[in-house]
Amino acid sequence: MSQFIRHWLIALSSLMIKGQSGEDAVLCTANKTFSVRSVVLSNSILVVTPPPDASSLDFADDAVVIRDQVTEVLELAPAVPKLHTLSALLRGKEFDGDQFDDDGNAETTDATKVTYDDALQTIQASDMELDRGLRDRRILIVKGELRPIAPIYLDHLLELFLNVLVALSLSHESASVEAMSSSLADDHQVPRWLSTQIMSWFGEIKDGAWKMDVSALIKEVGLGILRHHRHQPISQDELIARWKFLVGDTFESCVDLDLLSGNYLSSLDNPENLTYFPASALPVDPSRRFADLFLTRSRWKVKDIAPFLSDIAVDSKERDKLLLRFSRATTDADGVWYTARTQYSG
C-alpha cells in the first residue's frame, strides 16, 4: 500500500494548471494534457468525517460530522496540446548554420529569446508532449534558447549524415556517436552539440551508439524535396526518383509516399501530380481548419481528409465527431464523400 500511495503522491506532484490571460486553463500531467470544465452538481454531495475521538461519546455509533458540501466538480477530458503557439513565439528566430562563432558555438539572438523553461511555463502541453513537439517541429535548444532549424539547412545536414554513414561504413542500427560527430565536425564544420541534437531527433542515442529511426529520417528527406513544390506540382515518379537518389542504395527500399501523408495534395485532374500542402500550416481552430480544407477542395474522401485532422483531434473518435460537426456525408458510385455544412467562398 505504501508503494501505491508513493506512486500517486509522485503523480500528483507533477500536475500543473497552465493558461495565460485569455486562454482556457488546462491540466497537465507528466505526459498528457486535459481540458478543464466546471460542472454544477444537481445532487448534494457532502464531505463527512467520523466524529472527533474526544466527543465520540456524544454521538451515535453510525454518526458522521458534515465538514463541507460539494456543489460543483472539475471535469477533465483529453485535449490536444497547444504546441502551435511555438510557431508564433519563435517566428524570426530560425537557425540556418550561419550564426557560429570561431569556436563552433552558436550565437544567441536578442533579449526576446525564448528559453526551454519559458516554454515549459507558457505552452499548454505536458513536459513529454512539449519535448516531442520540439523534436517533431525540428526546434533546437541552443544555449537554453529555442531556435527552429531552417529546413534548407536541415536538408543539407541530413544529406551529410547519410554520406558519413556510408563513408565510415557504419551501421544505421548502431552507429558510433563519437565517430559521426568527429567526422561531421572535422570535415564539414558541424559542431558536436548540433549533430548530437539532430541524431536524437532521428533516432535513439544509447551507450554511445545511435540507432537511426529510418522512417523519420527518410520522411524528412522526402519533405525536403516536396517543400519546393507548393505552387508548381511535381509528378510522383520524379519525386520518388529524386528521393531514392538522395537517400542512396541502402535506404531506397524505404521510400514510400505514405510517409508524406498529411503534407501533399494530389491534383484532381491528374492524381500523379503532387503539391506541397502541409497540415502544420493550416489553422488549429477546427472551424477555420475545415473552412480552409473545403476552400481547397469542395469534397473529400475520409482517407484523404483524415491526415489533415490528426493534429487537432486526440483520437479517431474525436476526429469523427469533428467530421459530423463540420461536414456532410454523401454517397455516390465512388463511395462516401464529405462536403461542407457551410458554404465558403474564396
SS3 per-residue string spanning the chain: CHHHHHHHHHHHHCCEEECCCCCCCEEECCCCEEEEEEEEEEEEEEEEECCCHHHHHHCCCCCCEEEEEEEEEEEEEECCCCCCHHHHHCCCCCECCCCECCCCCECCCCCCCCEHHHHHHHCCCCHHHHHHHHHHCCEEEECCEEEEECHHHHHHHHHHHHHHHHHCCCCCCCEEHHHHHHHHHHHHCCCHHHHHHHHHHCEEEECCEEEECHHHHHHHHHHHHHHHHCCCCEEHHHHHHHHHHHHCCCCHHHCCHHHHCCCEEECCCCCCEEEECCHHHCCCCHHHHHHHHHHHCCEECHHHHHHHCCCCCCCHHHHHHHHHHHEEEEEECCEEEEEECCCCCC
Single-letter amino acid, residue 5? I
For helices 316-326 and 286-296, what crossing angle results, to 10°?
70
Beta-carbon contacts of 75 under 8 Å, excluding residues fewer than 6 positions away, are 36, 37, 38, 39
Q: What pLDDT, on a 0 to 100 scale, did the predictor assign at position 102?
A: 46
Our measurement of the distance from residue 140's CA atom to the centroid of its chain's CA atoms, rounded to an integer in Å, reads: 14
Q: What pLDDT, on a 0 to 100 scale, did the predictor assign at position 268?
A: 84
Cell 520524379 sits on residue:
238
Q: What pLDDT, on a 0 to 100 scale, did the predictor assign at position 153?
A: 97
pTM of the prediction? 0.84
Residue numbers in the chain where pLDDT is lower than 70: 1-13, 53-59, 99-111, 344-346
- C-alpha–C-alpha distance, residues 202 and 259, integer Å: 14
pLDDT digits over 209-268, tens only? Answer: 999 999 999 999 999 999 999 999 999 999 999 999 999 999 999 999 999 999 999 988
Contact between 138 and 145 under an 8 Å Cβ cutoff? The reply is no
Give the residue among 184, 193, 196, 186 at the shortest CA–CA distance from 156.
184
Q: What pLDDT, on a 0 to 100 scale, did the predictor assign at position 254?
A: 96
Give the residue among 257, 284, 253 at the shortest CA–CA distance from 271.
257
Beta-carbon contacts of 282 under 8 Å, excluding residues fewer than 6 positions away, are 289, 292, 293, 308
- Grid cell for residue 31: 505526459
Q: What pLDDT, on a 0 to 100 scale, did the predictor assign at position 100?
A: 57
Contact between 216 and 225 under an 8 Å Cβ cutoff? The reply is no
- Grid cell for residue 20: 495565460
Q: In what order do the strands lie in the sheet with 65-78?
A: 16-18, 26-28, 33-49, 65-78
Q: What pLDDT, on a 0 to 100 scale, did the predictor assign at position 219?
A: 98
